Amino acid sequence: MNEQRAHDPSAASTAPAHGGRVVVLAGGLSHEREVSLRSGRRVGEALRRRGLEVDQRDVGADLVPALTADPPDCVLPLLHGQAGEDGALREVLELVGVPYVGSRPAACRLAFDKPVAKAVVARAGVRTPAAVALPADTFKELGAAGVMDLLLGRIGLPLVVKPARGGSALGCAVVRAPDELPGAMVGCFGYDAVALVERFVVGTEVAVTVLDQGHDAEPPRTLPAVEIRPDGGVYDYAARYTAGATEFVVPAELGDPAAAACAVTAVTVHDALGLRHLSRSDLVVDAAGQVWFLEANVAPGVTETSLVPLALEAAGLDLGGVVAGLVDRSVAADRSIVDA
């Protein structure tokens, strides 16, 4: 590998040195299936333009036999939601013995579970809003009214209710009055058995992408922060996936200290959770310029309205080039393990 490609994955202009045929996994059975399919189509096209042979597959009972019978050079898991981001599918890919792009299963398990991720990054010194995670059964066994009163007393209003595990803001609700809380809890438990009830931090919402080639000589780098300004004030599902419904500012219009703090926070999160290749941290910068961690994404969306492509573009990088470079690194890393 030449020096330039080792340091700039977007510089790859042809098929990577090791990976020629890539299987893009998209779809699945999670609530984010549609988002995943859109991500898969976009990345698949970007890789084909780079000269790679791309096979986009859904995930079902035929996947393992297909990967076993005809192993690709690399797998690119772009499944969002439970099976795609909780590490389970990546465990299977490791069992099959095929290289893949993205974080290892153990890191995914930490990152996908929001309460766990918050605890891990907090120990690393990252500021994250006060929160409580409770399963539905707790409310049933102890009485919902009393537990909700305690939540309101501890967290205060406004607060956010979100599924402990899930993405795309599905099942999330901002609660501004006490009588909104029961409905928000019920809506949340439609998506997951555990709810995270978190203090709502008023401020500038930003997403920071970390690009990490797993190269010893080059530490993880952050891409320009993307500032999110949804028309309705809340970055919900419609605001995320309706083109035009949200204004993005890249790089985010933050002062230098806050911008630097966001970058440091995102890298700290990436390292603390043990993430690999590509991650996105969702942060809020409050009026005092303090940075708050909300959640990390191990398989961030790359649809036409997603945040990572915006950050790549602002950094002067090409999506296909970056992903092709990561494919290259994954194959190389896998071979080095085998060789060892």
Catalytic status, residue 295:
yes
Q: How many CB atoms are closer than 10 A to CB 130?
A: 13
- Choosing from 39, 128, 204, 330, the residue that interacts with other proteins (CB under 8 A) is 204
Binders of other proteins among residues 39 to 78 (CB under 8 A) are 58, 60
Q: Are strands 159-163 and 173-175 parallel, antiparallel or unpaired?
A: antiparallel
Number of residues that bind other proteins (CB under 8 A): 58
- Choosing from 116, 136, 152, 264, the residue that interacts with other proteins (CB under 8 A) is 136
Residues with Cβ within 8 Å of 222's Cβ and at least 6 positions away in sequence, in order, are 208, 209, 210, 211, 262, 263, 266, 267
Which residue among 30, 39, 103, 168 is the active-site one? 168
- Choosing from 125, 156, 190, 214, the residue that interacts with other proteins (CB under 8 A) is 190
User: Residues 152, 181: contact at Cβ < 8 Å?
Assistant: yes
Catalytic status, residue 85:
no
How is residue 178 annotated by DSSP? G
Catalytic status, residue 256:
no
Q: Which is nearer to other proteins, 74 or 315 (CB)?
A: 315
- Choosing from 6, 8, 34, 64, the residue that interacts with other proteins (CB under 8 A) is 34
Catalytic status, residue 253:
no
- Minimum CB–partner distance for residue 229 and other proteins (Å): 9
- Minimum CB–partner distance for residue 300 and other proteins (Å): 16
Q: First CA to last CA across the chain, in angstroms? A: 19
User: Residues 226, 144: contact at Cβ < 8 Å?
Assistant: no
User: Residues 86, 194: contact at Cβ < 8 Å?
Assistant: no
User: Residues 250, 310: contact at Cβ < 8 Å?
Assistant: yes
Q: Are strands 21-25 and 74-77 parallel, antiparallel or unpaired?
A: parallel
Catalytic status, residue 241:
yes
Distance, CA of 315 to CA of 303 (rounded, Å): 18
- Minimum CB–partner distance for residue 175 and other proteins (Å): 12
Catalytic residue positions, numbered: 32, 168, 241, 280, 282, 295, 297, 301
Question: Given the rule CB under 8 A, which residues bind other proteins?
Answer: 29-35, 37, 58, 60, 136, 139-140, 144, 168, 170-171, 182-183, 185-187, 189-191, 204, 224, 227, 237-238, 240-259, 285, 287-289, 304-305, 310, 314
